[in-house]
Amino acid sequence: MEKSINDIWTKGFENSNELSSPKIMNLYNQKSKLLINKIKKTSQTDNKSLLPIAILFAVAFGIAGHILLGFYGMMLIIGLFFFNRKLLSTLENIKITSSNYDYLIAYKKAIDKIITATFNLLGFGLPIILITGLWLYFRSSSKYATFINNYSFLNIVLIIIALATIISLVGISIYKITNHTLYRKHLKDLNSIISDLKNME
Amino acid sequence: MSNDFYTTSILPHAGIIIKICRAYTDSQENFEDYFQEVCLQIWKSRNAFQEKSKWSTWIYRITLNVCLTLTKKSKKKGYSKEFTSEEITKNDAFENENLNLLYDAIKKLSELDKAIILLHLEENPHKEIGLITGLTPNNVAVKINRIKKQLKILLDGKIN
């Protein structure tokens, strides 16, 4: 039998038809599909996670006695949810036209646009929205009057700019950390597939 | 992956890649995935090849590593598929019945034993098999004897 195992093997492959290699085609189709599905799933989950955060925000501020501020924060977070959902819908609209490579390039560009849009929102929009919210909330309070009376106009402007910068930095940092944690591997894989496909062309 | 690289560096060794991938897969679809992944990894790691060993040894190594990694991954995911009778016929990729029986028996071996016997059947010397699998040549020889005995039991009465 020992001899025959080697014989079976050798004779089995005497017919060259046994070794016709599969064509290297559609190599990345499956990989791309899996990766795109992962990105979609992660982004949707990521966005949906804003909803419980919004509710928690409202509840926490409500308990602390700032119901209006809690409600305002909740509405802002819900607004962010819808903003993200609109951005993510652009990814759904990308159709495979000519090739897998073109599709992934279009997808990557759309992701880059989303990242830029979110950066702008957090960097510029968030400080404006938050400071406006704080002003609306505190403008009739004694704390606000004390603040206005104690500082010069220039100082108030500087404080607002400093506050806006801090809010902006915190927002962008949180976004960067979230992106790094959730999407770094996916984006790395996406770049790697695009690079491989480019080399194969 | 350029056509040149595929034609000159992979295609001459496609036989061994096919033989190994067949031993680690149960369907034509899986086989093609494994084969393509092996080709891709060979291409990706081409710059890491240092000519300390033969190119064919490098290919054996990559093929086995890819097959083991993919098998592990599919086991981890708990991926198991019930094949329809049509698929089973399709999976029966080789026309030679004895060869199919031998493959079935090899598939029942442990991952390491599978690699060793495949390398042995491809007439690699024990030293070469040791280099690829990380075993000593003596260890390889002992293992080959044991594996053949195991295969003998598995094939007993089935071979025409």
Domains of chain B in start order, with CATH, are 1-93 (1.10.1740), 95-160 (1.10.10)
- Using CA coordinates, name the residue in chain B closest to A195: B1
Range B148-160 average pLDDT:
82
A73-77, A92-96, A125-129, B78-82: which has the minimum mean pLDDT? B78-82
Q: Is the pLDDT of residue B148 over 80?
A: yes
Q: What is the pLDDT of residue A23?
A: 57
A12-26, A37-51, A157-171, A175-189: which has the minimum mean pLDDT? A12-26
Number of domains in chain A: 1
Is A137 inside a domain boundary?
A: yes
Is A16 inside a domain boundary?
A: no
Q: What is the pLDDT of residue B25?
A: 86
Q: Does B151 contact A at CB distance below 8 Å?
A: yes
- Using CA coordinates, name the residue in chain A closest to B14: A21
CB contact under 8 A, B33 and A30: yes
Q: What is the dihedral of CA B88, B90, B95, B99, to 10 degrees?
A: -50
CA distance B148 to chain A (A): 6
Q: Is the pLDDT of residue B37 over 70?
A: yes
Q: Is the pLDDT of residue A26 over 90?
A: no
Tell me the pLDDT band of A59, cut-offs 50, 70 and 90: very high
Q: What is the pLDDT of residue B155?
A: 83
Helical H runs in chain A?
Answer: 2-12, 27-48, 50-63, 67-92, 100-120, 126-138, 142-150, 153-200
Q: What residues of chain B lie within 8 A of the CB of A12, using their CB?
A: 94, 96, 98-99, 102
Written as one string, the DSSP assignment of A34-69 is: HHHHHHHHHHHHHHHTHHHHHHHHHHHHHHTT-HHH
Q: What residues of chain B lie within 8 A of the CB of A195, using their CB?
A: none
Range B33-62 average pLDDT:
82
Tokens of A110: 């759309």
Q: What is the pLDDT of residue B85?
A: 37
A75-79, A192-196, B58-62: which has the minimum mean pLDDT? A192-196
Residue window 9-38, chain A: list those with CB within 8 Å of chain B: 9, 11-13, 15, 17-19, 21-22, 24, 27, 30
